[in-house]
A and B are shown apart, each in its own frame.
Chain A
Amino acid sequence: MILFVNDESIFLISSGFTRLFLVLLDKQVCTSRFWFNYRHVANSLSVYRSVKRLGIPDSHIVLMLADDMACNHRNPKPATVFSHKNIELNVYGDDVEVDYRGYEVTVENFLRVLTGRLPSSTPRSKRLLSDDRSNILIYLTGHGGNGFLKFQDSEEISNVELADAFEQMWQKRRYNELLFIIDTCQGASMYERFYSPNIMALASSQVGEDSLSHQPDLAIGVHLMDRYTFYLLEFLEDIHPASKANMNDLFKVCPKSQCVSTPGHRTDLFQRDPGSVLITDFFGSVRKVEITTEVVNLTDPIEQVDESPANGEAREEMYSYVDQLPVSEIIHQKPKQKDWHPPDGFILGLWTLILLVFFKTYGVKHLKHIF
């Protein structure tokens, strides 16, 4: 008999195992607005798709897309986002959950999700529920420059802010190991300032270089993918959940001949040797199931006691539906009693001024006429 558990139970079991089971969390962020930045959304969605294919569930993924490309009115094929020309692969799919979309993708929200400082009413799907056993993959794509990444064409996040956010995460024990991938122009500048341990970073281009897009599609009219992510996706398509490929293979993705820019990586903060780190440590998730042959007795289902008329007095009154437009009732509706508020600051100040001027001009002896 196999014991099936849901996510939360596995979470509890995993605390016993330190190395064998890892809860993986992911974050894909696309930070660009407008239709011509279609490729950034396609980048994020293709990484999302690979990660889901390799076993990470939606509850462990936070996907932030700054603009809607799939249902954009300019999209000739609605509800689809393609990554290859000739429209081969729809990375949007049928089962996608975007957690932050549109105007919600801001630097503030991004940093709040990373550090966990969210308002208490934020739903679980919008939080990064990680602990010190979790490996986190962060993938950012968009427009960037030397030391910054542009969000929504109106604000930027700098590499110093990002490094500080990761340090906060380290101090709050929010990650075990972190893999940071960035696909923007001059991407290597974003990981220059990291100083927290256990971070490995990859970028699509060095400082002073631009990351280029891959290929336009003439039917859709925009570039579909960036080069680095295109070859990264090709590489990930060959990975399956039991694959033994390690990080050194990932560093070799997209050499200069294919990418035109020079991808870079940084491993000095990482404690393990990159050759011993499996790709599936970050990109995939294998649920450990425990097979047992014992029989488990399920408790009896809770008997729902019917609180019908047998139990007390029967309801005498009949319920009824409400009149949707009760004209006479509306016409004779009394105005709502508004709550009385004490006079506001402005009115109070105005009256004080009037009284002061009055007493100044006419003297205090007139007070007795008032009171």
Chain B
Amino acid sequence: MAAPRCSRCACLLLVFIYSLYVVVISEEPTPGNEQHASVVENPQTAAETEKQPTEERRWEATQVDETVPDDAAANKQDLPVPDSVLTSTPPLKDEFQEELVIRPLHSGDIYASFQFRTVWETDFTRGSKVSHYRLFPKSLGQVISKFSVRELHISFTQGYWRTMQWGQPYLPSPPGAELWVWFQDTVTDVDATWKELTNVLSGIFCASLNFIDSTNTVEPSASFKPLGIANGTDHRFLRYATLPREIVCTENLTPWKKLLPCGSKAGLAVLLKSEKLFHSSFHSQAVHIRPVCQDEPCKTTSLELRQTLNVVFDLHASGQGKREWSLFKMFSRTLTEACPLASSSKIYIDVTDNPEEDQFELSPATHLLSQAVVLGDRRTFSVYDLTQQVTFGTVRSLNVLIRWKSTEGDMLRPLLHAERYIAGYGLQTGEIHTLMYNNHPFRSFPVLLLDSVPWYLRLYVHTLTVTSKGKDNKPSYIHYQPSKDRMRPHLLEMLVQLPPHSVTEVTMQFERALLKWTEYTPDPNHGFYVGSSVVSALVPSTVAMNTNITKEQPLFSTFFPTKEESSYFIRVYTEPLLVNLPTPDFSMPYNVICLTCTVVAVGYGSLYNLLTRSFQVEEPSPGLAKRIANVIRKMRGVPPL
């Protein structure tokens, strides 16, 4: 019968399953095999509950393992430790700060400057091997130690900073890419190290820095003194190069963002979205590495890494013509938290021109105010501290809004301003004019002009003239290194005293060289770039500058070290020049070959035929009627016609 057979089958099945289960249990007590115990529930639940504590115990076991080093270290602490300083947890040797400064400009544009600073208490010069990197990016640390770099400054800029409309930037940079490096005294072959360093940096930043070679590298003799701690300034260890043609795009921003401790996931770096950043009038990102004082009595040094990003958003392109800026409008993001690894994370809004809130309105309101002396002026800033939860309010996000009410007010004229252009006509000669404006009403100050001109513009140094207010102005220091074709560019450094309220004009004639046809770029009709001139100056300031650098000062005011209170140091870059060199017609070889071959073929061929052919007289064939008549005549036996 079906029913008893069924029940017997079921019993057999049950026994079989149970035996299987027991066998499996005895072999491997792994959690995955619980699926087999489906029918027999009681042993299963017992086994499950038996297993879960063991599982949990296993998870806890890993946690216990992690705390063992701490306990071991704590045990170590009990032992007497005479010389070396060992603590239970290694003291944090690096620190990260981030800040954003927003400065509304008089033309309606807005200037935002990000600075991310990592300070690391280490000294690569001691020769100690470093293997633990926490906040400092490992790729840069390895580059510094391998190439014995003391200071490294690299910047990528798209656009030109318009000093007359926007004022002075916190961190100046020339269009294109600029790289200048101070090497340690221990480097024996600076040029070879420089070449390798540029190649490595081109891989890190996805830029074509490998085009930096001896034809665009110079060794300034007085400009570009170290910005960090230095005990000697032997300019043999300094190299400077610019690539004015270098494009800046997302592929340069991506590796730059990856160097930040929080990446672009938290903190102020969340705002850095490429679609908005590159839709701007000016975009500059830079990396500055230099040794700085650790504390007030400067006995030890630490390594500082500053990553800066300056961007100017245009009123009409990004702002749609409305004088109202907010973080969301500028960056299409709002802030939700500070970077957890940052010790300070602040936003500064420049409200100096807005003491009674008559120019623009700032929201959300903040009661934190800070004053800082920057660029020779005492400015007031409203501060948003992102490490305080209250900044984000109830909506948990911060969107700073600046709404303009009136458009009055003049901008303070910048004290130093420089321009450069090419005069002349034709493709043979020309003249470079550099103009430096001193807008101070009664003070004059010295200015160091650095010009690096590629070898294919042959400068005539005997035509160099420096005039201020129509009179000759003799520079107190000139250093000129002539170029060598295809090896070295021209280098001209001059220390010029600019009289007050004047324009100083530096002119020099040049001749354009004809390059070899392989040296032309694929688009030679675009022109060839000449890098920006660098004007370094100590400008008198209206307020006393702070000569001590403390930790509480905002980052943007501590970039250039100040030695005296009455003046501050700035660097102004001129425009790069675009010069057309005489360009040959690259289709010329093809055309010449075609034409020559045609002429040779036609001429020689005809001549050969005339000389070697023999001519025979041939009678024309007679007409049809005559041929028939000839046939009839042949038949008759009569001679043909």
- Chain A contacts to B: CB under 8 angstroms: 1, 33-34, 68, 70-71, 77-80, 92-104, 119, 121-126, 152-155, 293, 295, 297, 300-308, 310-311, 314-315, 318-327, 330-331, 333, 335-336
Number of interface residues of B (CB under 8 A): 75
- A-B pairs with beta carbons under 8 A, tally: 174
Q: Which of A94, A103, A153 makes the CB contact (< 8 A) with B250? A: A94
A contact face: mostly helix, strand, loop, or mixed: loop
Evaluate whether A77 and B247 lie within 8 angstroms (CB atoms) in the complex, with A121-B196, A295-B61, A320-B229 already known: no
CB pair A331–B275 under 8 Å, yes or no, is no
CA distance A295 to B66 in the complex (A): 11
26 interchain pairs, CB-CB under 8 A: A77-B275, A79-B275, A92-B250, A94-B274, A103-B208, A103-B522, A121-B195, A121-B199, A122-B210, A123-B203, A124-B203, A125-B203, A126-B202, A297-B65, A304-B90, A304-B132, A305-B84, A320-B298, A322-B226, A324-B225, A324-B536, A324-B569, A325-B446, A325-B537, A331-B477, A333-B222
Min distance, Cβ A115 to any Cβ of chain B, angstroms:
19
CA distance A186 to B521 in the complex (A): 27
CB pair B84–A71 under 8 Å, yes or no, is no
Closest B residue to A155 by beta carbon equals: B522
Q: Which of B196, B255, B277 makes the CB contact (< 8 A) with A97? A: B255
B206 within 8 A of A: yes
User: 8 Å CB contacts to A: which residues of B232-277?
Assistant: 233, 235, 245, 247-251, 254-255, 273-275, 277
CA distance A92 to B83 in the complex (A): 56
Report B-chain residues with C-beta under 8 Å of the C-beta of A93.
250
Report A-chain residues with C-beta under 8 Å of the C-beta of B500.
none
Min distance, Cβ A317 to any Cβ of chain B, angstroms:
8
Evaluate whether A314 and B299 lie within 8 angstroms (CB atoms) in the complex, with A78-B279, A308-B85, A322-B230 already known: yes
Report A-chain residues with C-beta under 8 Å of the C-beta of B131.
302
| Shortest beta-carbon contacts, A-B, top 4 | A123-B203, A321-B561, A71-B249, A152-B522
B35 within 8 A of A: no
CB pair B522–A33 under 8 Å, yes or no, is yes
CB pair A79–B132 under 8 Å, yes or no, is no
Closest A residue to B495 by beta carbon equals: A330
Min distance, Cβ B192 to any Cβ of chain A, angstroms:
9
Min distance, Cβ B201 to any Cβ of chain A, angstroms:
9
CB pair A319–B301 under 8 Å, yes or no, is yes
CB pair B297–A300 under 8 Å, yes or no, is no
Q: Which of A77, A94, A319, A330 makes the CB contact (< 8 A) with B293? A: A319
Min distance, Cβ B243 to any Cβ of chain A, angstroms:
10
B560 within 8 A of A: yes
Report A-chain residues with C-beta under 8 Å of the C-beta of B204.
123
User: 8 Å CB contacts to A: which residues of B450-481?
Assistant: 476-477, 479
Closest A residue to B131 by beta carbon equals: A302
Report A-chain residues with C-beta under 8 Å of the C-beta of B569.
324-325
CA distance A326 to B476 in the complex (A): 13
Given known contacts A103-B521, A324-B536, what 13 new A-B pairs fall within 8 Å (CB)? A34-B523, A96-B254, A103-B208, A119-B199, A122-B210, A126-B203, A303-B86, A315-B299, A321-B230, A321-B563, A324-B561, A330-B448, A331-B495
CB pair B279–A79 under 8 Å, yes or no, is yes
User: 8 Å CB contacts to A: which residues of B430-444?
Assistant: none
CA distance A79 to B275 in the complex (A): 5
CA distance A302 to B128 in the complex (A): 13
CB pair A94–B273 under 8 Å, yes or no, is yes
CB pair B231–A319 under 8 Å, yes or no, is yes
CB pair A295–B250 under 8 Å, yes or no, is no
B221 within 8 A of A: yes
Min distance, Cβ A156 to any Cβ of chain B, angstroms:
12
Min distance, Cβ A135 to any Cβ of chain B, angstroms:
24
Evaluate whether A330 and B477 lie within 8 angstroms (CB atoms) in the complex, with A79-B278, A94-B254, A123-B199 already known: yes
Min distance, Cβ B283 to any Cβ of chain A, angstroms:
9
